[in-house]
């Protein structure tokens, strides 16, 4: 527990040396906020939304949504809940804390042995499975007392929004209804906490990565999320109560390369704690679900780009590669074994 950044970093004036990134792994140059990342109003006309979402997925692999049906109050309550959670006294978080990698509900930090890192990230994370709620909520934190009830409601609402967006992407791609059912069975959340850092340019919140799943929905309170586009890191504007939607590796494969998956990372602030509440939809990592390019999207002008593979094998491989990854490796490297 002493290892959680949120437990020891309050008021520190210097970064401990095992959190100082070597120069090549620091943030470097970036465009602070990229105003071109599409912001899509989900109350617009449906065919217009489908067009905008598809264009965003082809150009960026990321977009933001507003008027998405999850209420402002619910989103604000969630941020307040996690502020309270991370500020709870140590003994109230012991039940979910773990220094070992494990399945199920876990509070952990980067500075733990299993991560096999030489340098740690300035971040703590609470993660847990979400769906079906009745099955998983008993494992969620007991405190704050309202946790289970509030998060259960959030899970239901974000899920509705998520499947509506998936439906529209499917429609834009010309896939049959329900195409994504099997590859979106797993619904989980990660809540990342990035405490204020005395020297944000020397440390890192979360390194550049592509999400391994199908699609991700992120709620953030402060600046820090950046995406890599055409070799340039660009900030995603924190819009109050919007969701950032980004595509993971599986979407790139299923769309036969038509949609981008976006590499992204998280920077730190010097004066405020940043929280991101992240919802992941994807295949169940325990099951041998077959992932492959949709047959509808393989044509003579767009030949098949990837072999079929089993998701549990992909994930095992992804984790090994993530641990061994050297900075500067190419975007999309985890798909290399499956390229045709
Ligand atoms: C993630 C992620 C970014 C953020 O959890 O996969 O990319 O801003 N988080 O916390
Ligand atoms: Ni991510």
Residue 321: per-residue pLDDT: 78
Report whether residue 225 contacts ligand 1, using a CB cutoff of 6 Å: yes
Ligand 1 close to Cβ of residue 210 (< 6 A): no
Check pocket membership of 266 for ligand 1, CB cut-off 6 A. yes
In-domain check, residue 193:
yes
Task: Indicate if the pLDDT at residue 327 is higher than 50.
Answer: no
Does ligand 1 come within 6 angstroms of the Cβ of 238? Answer: no
Report how far ligand 1's centroid is from the alpha carbon of 176 (Å).
30
Look at residue 172 and tell me if it is in a domain. yes
Q: Is the pLDDT confidence value at 86 over 80?
A: yes
Q: What is the pLDDT of residue 319?
A: 82
274 lies in some domain: yes
Alpha-carbon gap, residue 266 to 108, rounded angstroms: 17
| Number of domains composing the chain | 1
237 lies in some domain: yes
Residue 14 belongs to some domain of the structure: no
| pLDDT at residue 1 in the model | 61
- Residues 72, 163, 217, 237, CA torsion sign: negative
Ligand 2 centroid, distance to 301 Cα (angstroms): 32
Per-residue pLDDT of 32-55, as tens digits, reads 999 999 999 999 999 999 999 999
CATH classification of the domain holding 128: 2.60.120.330
Asked whether the CA dihedral 165, 166, 169, 174 is positive or negative, the reply is negative
- Secondary structure percentages of the chain, helix, strand, coil, to 5: 35, 20, 45
Q: Residue 245 C-alpha to ligand 1 middle, in angstroms?
A: 11
Q: How far is CA 71 from CA 42, 65, 192, in A?
A: 13, 13, 21
In a domain, 137, yes or no: yes
Asked whether 267 lines ligand 1 (CB < 6 A), one says no
Atom of ligand 1 nearest to the CA of 276: 10
pLDDT tens sequence across 214-250? 999 999 999 999 999 999 999 999 999 999 999 999 9
Tell me which residues have their CB within 5 A of the ion that is ligand 2. 211
User: In this structure, is residue 5 part of a structural domain?
Assistant: no
**CB-ligand 1 contact for 188 (6 Å cutoff):** no
* pLDDT score of 116 more than 70: no
Q: Does the pLDDT at position 121 exceed 80?
A: yes
pLDDT at 274: 98
Q: Distance (Å, rounded) from C-alpha 117 to C-alpha 137?
A: 31
Question: Is ligand 1 within 6 A of the CB of residue 283?
Answer: no
Which residue, judged by its Cα, is nearest atom 3 of ligand 1?
Answer: 266
Q: Average of pLDDT values for 294-307?
A: 97
Give the separation between CA 123 and CA 324, rounded to whole angstroms. 20
So what's the pLDDT on residue 323? 65
pLDDT score recorded for residue 314? 96
Are 197 and 203 within 8 A, CB to CB? yes
Average pLDDT of 266-275?
A: 97
Q: Which residue has the higher pLDDT, 6 or 115?
A: 6
Pairing between strand 274-282 and 186-194?
antiparallel
Q: Tell me how far apart the alpha carbons of residues 306 and 252 are, in angstroms, rounded to a whole number.
A: 10
Residue 326 confidence (pLDDT) above 70: no
Q: Average pLDDT, stretch 65-79?
A: 98
User: Does pLDDT of 332 surpass 80?
Assistant: no
- State the average pLDDT for the chain: 94
Which tens digit of pLDDT belongs to each residue from 10-40?
Answer: 999 999 999 999 999 999 999 999 999 999 9
The range of the structural domain enclosing residue 188 comes to 33-338
Mean pLDDT, rounded, for 168-193: 96
Mean pLDDT of 241-267: 97
In-domain check, residue 1:
no
Residue 328 has pLDDT above 70, yes or no: no
Which pLDDT band, with edges at 50, 70 and 90, does 186 fall under? very high
Ligand 1 neighbour 6 (Cβ under 6 A): no
DSSP classification of residue 208: E
């Amino acid at each position: 527990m002493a290892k959680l950044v949120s437990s020891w970093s309050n008021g520190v004036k210097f970064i401990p040396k095992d959190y100082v990134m070597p120069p090549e792994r620091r943030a470097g140059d970036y465009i602070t906020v990229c105003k071109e990342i599409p912001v899509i109003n989900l109350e617009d006309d449906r065919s217009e939304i489908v067009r905008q979402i598809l264009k965003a997925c082809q150009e960026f692999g990321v977009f933001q949504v507003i008027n998405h049906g999850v209420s402002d109050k619910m989103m604000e309550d969630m941020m307040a809940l996690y502020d309270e959670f991370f500020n709870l006294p140590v003994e109230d978080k012991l039940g979910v804390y773990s220094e070992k990698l494990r399945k199920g509900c876990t509070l952990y930090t980067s500075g733990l042995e299993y991560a096999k890192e030489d340098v740690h990230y300035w971040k703590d994370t609470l993660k847990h499975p979400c769906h079906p709620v009745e099955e998983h909520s008993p494992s969620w934190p007991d405190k704050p007392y309202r946790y289970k009830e509030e998060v259960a409601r959030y899970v239901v609402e974000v899920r509705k929004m998520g499947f509506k967006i998936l439906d529209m992407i499917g429609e834009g791609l010309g896939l049959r209804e329900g195409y994504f059912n099997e590859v979106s069975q797993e619904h989980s959340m990660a809540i990342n906490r990035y405490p204020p850092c005395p020297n944000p340019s020397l440390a890192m919140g979360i390194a550049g990565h592509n999400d391994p799943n199908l699609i991700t929905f992120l709620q953030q309170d402060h600046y820090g999320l950046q995406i890599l586009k055409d070799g340039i890191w660009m900030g995603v504007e924190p819009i109050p109560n919007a969701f950032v939607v980004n595509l993971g590796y599986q979407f790139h494969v299923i769309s036969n390369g038509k949609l981008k998956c976006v590499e992204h990372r998280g920077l730190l602030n010097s004066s405020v704690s940043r929280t991101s509440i992240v919802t992941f939809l994807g295949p169940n990592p325990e099951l041998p679900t077959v992932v492959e390019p949709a047959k509808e999207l393989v044509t003579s002008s767009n030949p098949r780009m990837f072999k079929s593979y089993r998701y549990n094998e992909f994930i095992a491989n992804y984790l090994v590669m993530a641990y061994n990854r050297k900075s500067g490796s190419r975007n999309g490297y985890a798909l290399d074994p499956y390229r045709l």
